[in-house]
Amino acid sequence: MRNMKIGTRLALGFGLIIILLLIMSAIGAWRMIDSQRANDNLEERQTANALILQWARQVEVNANQALAAANLTNPDVLAVFKKGMDTSDQNATDIRAKIETMISTPEAKTLYDNAMRVREAYIQGRTQAFKDLDNGDYAKADTFFNQEMPKITAQYIAEIDKLSQFQSNVVARLFGESEQDTRLGLTVLAVATLLALILGPLFAWRV
């Protein structure tokens, strides 16, 4: 070191400072990118869960509309209720379209498919019951609306709730992982800062 020219010594000193600054900047950038990615993931999961809850709400609304329509005799009033059912069906369809783009894990897809299978039974049963009403088979329609439909609706909402609970568990897990990553990032940054404080003055003194 003593045989080095002053320019070489200064270059080494500045070089070390630049390296330390680059390391600190890289750690900071890594934490910012990782935090942003985690926040985006959490936001998407929470949005998906809110949509799932809206889906369950639309199912309840539709079932209540169907039950009310089944007990109506005035054609004009019945038409209004059926229109309301069509609207809630469309709202649920729009909500599901958004949910489908947000679920990617096999577990979530399985839970979603389970809910859709129950939905198919609900739609088929409801459609057939209204046909029975139109054909004058009131006993069969009454059996569906007052005995079968409440069970199918409860099962339908239960399957949606399972999907919602799964999403909530994922959000909780992601929060925990985010906290761990934050602590790890702070630890790494603290170690890097400590090394910079030790090596910087030591190297400067040697130069």
> Residues 6 or more apart from 17 whose CB is under 8 A from it?
200
> Residues 6 or more apart from 57 whose CB is under 8 A from it?
none
Instruction: Please state, in angstroms and as integers, the Cα–Cα distance from residue 44 to each residue in 4, 104, 167, following that order.
Output: 58, 11, 10
Among 65-74, 117-126, 190-199, whose mean pLDDT is lowest?
A: 190-199
pLDDT score, position 3: 64
Give CA 109 to chain center in angstroms. Answer: 12
By percentage, how much of the chain surpasses pLDDT 90? Answer: 30
Q: Which amino acid is at 46?
A: Q
Maximum CA pair distance of the chain?
109
By percentage, how much of the chain surpasses pLDDT 70? Answer: 92
pLDDT digits (tens, 9 = 90+) for 121-136: 999 999 999 898 888 8
Threshold 0.75, pTM exceeds: no
pLDDT score, position 159: 95
> 54 or 40: whose pLDDT is higher?
54
Residue 115's pLDDT band, with cuts at 50, 70 and 90, is very high
